[in-house]
Structure 1
Amino acid sequence: MARGQQKVQAQQKAAAKAAGKNKKNTGPHARQVAEKSMQFKCKVCMMMIQSAVTYKEHFESKHPKADLPDELKEV
């Protein structure tokens, strides 16, 4: 059993550990952050894509028979 200074240090360490644990749980999840950065959604397969160029490449490679969406004709 710890006494005096050791007890105080153990309490401070436990409090810091608990505060760090709670802090991690309150923040946004990585998936939520990633979904916010996604700007385009494929009309055919509903895949979320970040940029227009990547979206156009995806559409041309994965859905060659489908008509190109209006938003990609300008890119």
Structure 2
Amino acid sequence: MARGQQKIQSQQKAAEKQAKMKKQAGHSANDQKKAAMAALKSTCAICKALMPDPKTYKQHFENKHPKNELPAELKEV
């Protein structure tokens, strides 16, 4: 077993390694989440679902809300 100075150095090294791993894991997840939210531009007028583009929004509207009239911004697509 390590004693004295070796033990302290080992604990410091392990703490630095864990801090580095935690920073890498948390940082990339937040960046991905922000990028994904920025890509969602359209919002369904009825159910408030987020869509990345007008084409997907139109498909969603036709499939999920067939009884409702198509919004003006989707008639052009």
What TM-score comes out, normalization by structure 1 length?
Answer: 0.70
Does 2:13 correspond to 1:12? yes
CA offsets 1:30-67 (integer angstroms, 9 cap, x no match): 54442221011000111011121111011011111211
Partner amino acid, structure 1, of 2:69: D
CA offsets 1:5-38 (integer angstroms, 9 cap, x no match): 67645532321212322x1269627544422210
Identity of aligned residues (%): 39
Structure 2 unaligned segments of length 5 or more: list them: none
Partners of 2:19 and 2:56 in 1: CA distance: 42
Partners of 1:32 and 1:70 in 2: CA distance: 29
Partner amino acid, structure 2, of 1:61: N
Q: How many residues are matched?
A: 74
Structure 1 unaligned segments of length 5 or more: list them: none
Structure with the larger helix share: 2
What TM-score comes out, normalization by structure 2 length?
Answer: 0.69
